[in-house]
Amino acid sequence: MLLIGAAAGLLVAMSLMIARAIMGPSHYDRILAANSFGTKTVLLLAIIGFVFGRPAFLDIALVYALINFVTTIALMKFFRYRSLAAPLTTHTPKEGGNG
Amino acid sequence: MSAVLTHFNYVAVIVLMMGGLYILLSTGNLVRRMIGLAIFQTSTGLFYISLGKVSGGTAAITLDAVSAEGQALAARAGAEQVARYGVEGVIYSNPLPHVLILTAIVVGVATLAVGLAIAVRLREAYGTIETDEIQALDRVLTAAGQVEPAP
Amino acid sequence: MTGYIPGFDANLALDAILLVMLVVIVAAIAATHRMLSAVILMGLYSLVSAVWLVVMDAADVAFTEAVVGAGVSTIVLLGAILLTRGAAAKVSGRRRFLPAVLALGVGAILIYATLDLPDFGDPASPANAYVGRAYLEATGNDMGIPNVVTAVLSSYRGFDTLGETVVIFAAAIGVAIMLGFGERAMADRTIEPLAGGPADHHVVLRVAAKLLIPIIALYAFYVQFHGDLGPGGGFQAGVILAVAVILHALVFGLKDTMAAVKPKFARGVAALGVLLYAGIGVTCIVNGGGFLDYDHLFPRHIEAQIPDWILGPADPAHPHHWGQHFGIMAIELGVLFTVAATMVTIFYGFAGRSMEAPQPGAPRSGAA
Amino acid sequence: MADALFWAGGGLAAAGALLALIGALGVLRFPDVYTRIHAASITDTGGATLMILGLCLISGLSLVTLKLVLVWVFIMLTSPAAANALANAAYSAGHTPWIGSFRIMQDNRKGGSR
């Protein structure tokens, strides 16, 4: 019963995130909303697995916890550096190289 | 009233489909059109999955009815339903639409990528990706003889 | 309403809420004229549909949608928008009215058509009662693997999946030809690191990425090899593997990634996947079965040599279906190769293309 | 004993959801990017920890608990890193905070943009 309540709370939090994604003034608000939405979706997937009695479906929550990171980096790189190919470092490879 | 409850899924999927169609038609920008097309494709997938759902069913990964999960599911679905619709004591949703939609999603992304590649090449050739501007440029260029007229 | 169980309100309520969320997101995409927020909302759209698919008991499809929809398609769209900069998305007024009327008209006709569809979730509907059940019952003794979706995808319907793998391979070739070659492709250009303040040197990201890339790749193989026991399989695993390479390219720069996974190597692996898939089919023919009929993958004398501890002692009541197990595993591996190499090739095409486009109206005749 | 664990787990999960909800409210109402990043990322990781702890109590010692712990580890790894990168990008893109002025930003920017 409490799990369904937790799922409902998460759904409300996710809809607030959608509201922020839609009206967010700057692009960074939108990336933030997408990132936070992703983390909440991971939790919702975990809870759905338990509410519907098939907890073996945590793989989907697991995989999305990883993919969310990649999408956020791609969006951040796009808005800030306008290029998907540039390495995220300021020293040239010769000098730095180890990150 | 019950018609709304039982057909809500189909109506919602069609609203999504029409949203995709509207986005597709209401703009000349090629990339935005492909977003509309992607929404349209995904909604057809949602429609198939809605058809395949069996209420009280679980995912089509067979589990034995005596396991804790199996008993919990059977208790929730009611013994009479399980007897009538269950396979070896567990009700499953229909797995066939899942197979179709699984490959449809991956092929959808592959074709989206090819479409976007064409849009990029159009941008490099014509300098714009608005369809009406491209057509206008085409007319100008075929008149000037730089581009052989379309067959 | 024969046999419809109105219960499980949690399932129905969740399904309804998620669908309403999807409609809100599509309305927001339709309303916004900024391409960038449309792409972010597209990511949210496929994420919510992934959760909805889990609620609809479609675990494998939710897996694919979460990985492909929110991950790869967002990155491909970003690459495309990057390469088509300067083309503002002008949405003129007169264009809005006619499509709206058309969409409403077609929508009304379709909704009218759905009135005589079977009730949602009705176990006795023709689709669920006959064909669906036949496969659920048959997979147990035909193949002996729990995941019916993978069984149907790779064995009952193996020939179609081979076709889909070739379609994906063709998409890889298409994108490689259009964006991967020519003087503006990545092969012959160096990208200098970002000029900028100290904040542009993302140490945290580089360390986190170094930690995560091996985990993502390992997880991809986990998804691949337990594809017939739980949700997972070749398609999802291929995309996860590609996401690991894309993460490396995003953080450490395309130059280093292309040094590690050369574009020519990626195209070769894409071909290798299709070759492996068709090769398995041909070996079945050579062993006397039909194309892609895995029961004939192992001739009798080889099957006898497979030790018992792999799948338990042989008892005639439940035959082991060695051929089916290894056949499905092998073609899923082929699909993994093709899908992973395709997504990597597509990313190389979009990320590696530089953007200096000619002025409008002056197309170079015979542009390479 | 079993349902005591079940209720304890459910309570923790509900607490996690409440935290996530408060975080979402924060993201909605805070004035500028930095405070929103702060609100979102802290309540995300906090809510995730509470919720996953609750689910672990419910699922007891099994493969599912291992997967839950793995989900927790990945959220702990990625969410703060992403929030840090986002704040970094916003800062280097010149977003000045709405409340008060970071003197260090000015010095850094003067120092940074040589």
Q: Give the CA angle between residues C265, C267, C270 to the nearest 5°.
A: 110
Decide if A28 is inside a domain.
yes
- What 8-state DSSP symbol labels residue C167? H
Question: Is A35 part of a structural domain of the chain?
Answer: yes
- Backbone CA torsion sign across C332, C334, C339, C341: positive
Dig out the tokens for A15 from the structure.
């809809």
Q: What's the whole-number average pLDDT of chain A?
A: 83
CB contact under 8 A, C152 and B96: yes
Q: b/e per residue, C59-82, with b = 16+ CB within 10 A?
A: bbbbbbbbbbbbbbbbbbbbbbbb
Q: How far apart are CA C144 and CA C146, in angstroms?
A: 7
What's the token pair of residue D31?
């004035």
Is A37 inside a domain boundary? yes
Give the model's pLDDT for residue A95.
Answer: 41
Question: How many CB atoms sit inside 10 A of residue A29's CB?
Answer: 22
Run of H or E residues at D79: helix D63-92
C279 close to C291: Cβ distance less than 8 angstroms:
no
Contact A46 D36 (CB under 8 A): no
Domain total in chain A: 1
Residue D92: closest C-alpha in chain C: C199
Query: Tokens 């993978």 map to which residue?
Result: C150
- A62 close contact with C: CB closer than 8 A: yes
Which residue of chain B has the CA closest to C347?
B113
Token pair 């409403």: residue: C104
Q: Among B31, B121, B114, B124, which residue's Cα sits nearest to residue C175?
A: B114
Decide if pLDDT at D105 tops 60. no
Between C322 and B150, the more confident residue is C322
Which of C2, C15, C19 should we substitute to test contact with B (largest number of B Cβ atoms within 10 Å)? C19
Tell me if B128 and C103 make a contact (CB, 8 A cut-off): no
Query: Is A86 domain-assigned?
Result: no
* Average pLDDT, rounded, for chain B: 84
Find the residue in D nearest to C211 (Cα): D77
User: C40-58: buried (b, 16+ CB within 10 Å) or exposed (e) per residue?
Assistant: bbbbbbbbbbbbbbbbbbb
The tokens of B95 are what?
């797995």
Sign of CA dihedral C88, C93, C95, C97: positive
What is the mean pLDDT of the segment spanning B37-46?
A: 92
Buried b or exposed e, range B107-145, using 16+ CB within 10 angstroms: bbbbbbbbbbbbbbbbbbbbbbbbeebbeebeeebeeee
A91 within some domain: no
The sign one gets for the Cα dihedral A6, A12, A16, A21 is positive
Which chain D residue's Cα is nearest to A42?
D71
Task: Confirm if C41 and B44 have CB atoms less than 8 A apart.
Answer: no
* Distance in Å, alpha carbon of C289 to nearest chain A alpha carbon: 36
User: Is D32 in a helix, a strand, or coil?
Assistant: coil
Would an 8 Å CB–CB cutoff place A22 in contact with chain C?
yes
Residue C192, SS3? coil
Q: If residue C258 lies in a helix (H) or strand (E), which one and from where to where? A: helix C254-260
How big is chain A, counted in residues?
A: 99
The encoded tokens of residue B137 equal: 């440029």
Query: Bridge partners of B87?
Result: B90
Amino acid present at B147: V
Residues of B in contact with A60 (CB under 8 A): none
Q: Please give the full DSSP string across B95-122, using - where no structure is assigned.
A: SHHHHHHHHHHHHHHHHHHHHHHHHHHH
pLDDT surpassing 90 at residue B52 = no
Which residues on D lie below 8 Å from A39 (Cβ)? 44, 48, 75, 79
Domains of chain B: 1-53+95-151 (1.10.287.3510), 56-93 (no CATH)
**pLDDT tier at D113 (50, 70, 90 boundaries)?**
very low
Print the SS3 string covering C84-134: CCCCCCCCCCHHHHHHHHHHHHHHHHHHHHHCCCCCCCCCCCHHHHHHHHH
List residues of C whose CB lies inside 8 A of any D CB.
Answer: 196-200, 202, 204-205, 208, 211-212, 215
The pLDDT, as a whole number, for residue D99 is 67
Give the pLDDT of residue A27. 85
User: In angstroms, rounded to a whole number, what is the distance separating the alpha carbons of residues C308 and C323?
Assistant: 14
Nearest to A5 by CA among C17, C57, D6, D13: D13
Residue type, position C257, single letter: T
The arithmetic mean of pLDDT across residues D89-111, rounded, is: 68
Q: How far is D68 from chain C (nearest CA, A)?
A: 15
**Partner-chain contact C55 A74, CB within 8 Å:** no
Does residue A10 fall inside a structural domain?
A: yes
D11: which 2 tokens?
């309570």
Task: Identify the CA nearest to D52 among candidates D63, D74, D68, D64.
Answer: D68
Which residue range forms the structural domain that includes residue A33?
A: 2-81
Write the pLDDT tens digit of every residue in D11-54. Answer: 999 999 999 999 999 898 888 888 899 899 999 999 999 999 99
> What is the percent of chain B with per-residue pLDDT over 70, rounded to a whole number?
95
Q: How far apart are CA A49 and CA D52, in angstroms?
A: 12
Confidence (pLDDT) at B103: 87
The subunits that touch chain B, with at least 3 C-beta pairs less than 8 Å apart, are: A, C
D47: nearest Cα among D27, D31, D29, D67 = D27
Average pLDDT on D83-87 reads: 89
Contact A21, A34 (CB under 8 A): yes
CA angle C79, C85, C87 (to 5 degrees): 130
Q: Do A87 and C203 lie within an 8 Å CB cutoff?
A: no
ipTM: 0.89
B contacts of C59 (beta carbons < 8 Å): 59, 61
H helices present in chain A, as ranges: 2-23, 27-51, 58-81
C-beta separation of A2 from A46 below 8 A: no
Residue A90 counted as domain residue = no
Q: Testing the interface with B: which of C84, C101, C162, C342 to mutate, by most B Cβ within 10 A?
A: C84
Report yes or no: D112 at the C interface, CB cutoff 8 Å. Answer: yes
Chain B residues 48-67 within an 8 A CB cutoff of chain A: 58-59, 61
Residue B22 CB partners (closer than 8 Å, separation 6+)? B36, C30, C99, C100, C103
Contact predicate B5/C1, CB 8 Å: no
HSE-CB at A96 with a 13 A cutoff on CA atoms is: 16
Structure tokens at B70: 């199996």
Which residue in chain A is spatially nearest to B63 when comparing CA positions? A54
d(C-alpha D68, C-alpha D56), whole Å: 7
Please report the beta strands in D47-96, taking only residues with DSSP state E, as ranges in sequence order.
Answer: none
Phi, psi for C359 (deg, rounded to 5):
-65, 150
Q: How confident is the model at residue D102 (pLDDT cuts 50, 70, 90)?
A: low
| Confidence at residue B16, expressed as pLDDT on a 0 to 100 scale | 94
Give yes or no for D41 touching A (CB within 8 A): yes
Q: Does A90 reach chain D within 8 Å, measured CB to CB?
A: no
Chain center to CA of C8: 30
Average pLDDT over residues B83-104: 83
**Residue A27 in domain:** yes
Structure tokens at C180: 């991967």
CB contact under 8 Å between C59 and A60, yes or no, is yes
pLDDT in tens, A71-98: 999 988 888 877 777 777 766 555 444 4
- Determine the pLDDT at residue B2: 64
**CA distance linking residue A85 with residue C353, whole number of Å:** 9
Rounded Cα distance between B121 and C248, Å, is: 26
Alpha-carbon distance values, C176 to B57, C33, C115, C337 (Å): 43, 30, 46, 16
Q: How confident is the model at residue B13 (pLDDT cuts 50, 70, 90)?
A: very high
Report the candidate in C311, C230, C328, C330 with the shortest Cα–Cα distance to residue C272. C330
Among B69, B91, B65, B60, CA closest to A54: B69
CB contacts < 8 A, A to C, total 204
In chain C, where the domains are located = 1-85+96-124, 146-190+202-355
Task: Give the HSE-up count for residue C191: Cα atoms under 13 Å, Cβ half-sphere.
Answer: 30
Going residue by residue through chain C (368 aa), what tens digit of pLDDT does each one get?
Answer: 334 444 456 778 888 899 999 999 999 999 888 888 899 999 999 999 999 999 888 888 999 999 888 889 999 999 898 888 755 555 555 667 888 899 999 999 998 988 888 888 777 787 777 787 888 888 777 777 888 888 888 888 889 999 999 999 999 999 999 887 766 666 455 666 666 666 667 788 888 899 999 999 999 999 998 887 888 888 899 999 999 999 999 888 888 888 888 888 999 999 999 999 999 999 888 888 888 888 888 777 777 777 777 766 766 666 667 788 888 889 999 999 999 999 999 998 888 887 654 444 444 443 33
DSSP assignment letter at C298: S
User: What's the rounded Cα separation, in Å, for the pair C124 and C130?
Assistant: 9
Is A touching B (3+ C-beta pairs, cut-off 8 A)? Answer: yes
Check if the beta carbon of residue A6 is closer than 8 Å to that of residue D51.
yes
pLDDT of residue C247: 92
Interchain contact, D112 vs C196, CB within 8 Å: yes
CB of C72 closer than 8 Å to CB of C239: yes
Q: Does B31 touch chain C (CB under 8 A)?
A: yes
Q: How far apart are the first and last CA of chain B?
A: 55
Q: State the amino acid at position C148 in one-letter form.
A: V
Torsion C275-C277-C281-C286 (CA) sign: positive
Task: Give phi and psi for D44, each to the nearest 5.
Answer: -60, -55
- Look at phi and psi of residue D100 and say left if phi exceeds 0, alpha if psi is from -120 to 50, else beta: left
- pLDDT of A99 reads 41
Closest Cα of chain C to B63: distance in Å? 7
CA nearest to C324, candidates C160, C141, C162: C141
Q: Please state the rounded mean pLDDT for residues D46-66.
A: 90
Chain A contact present for D69, CB below 8 A: no
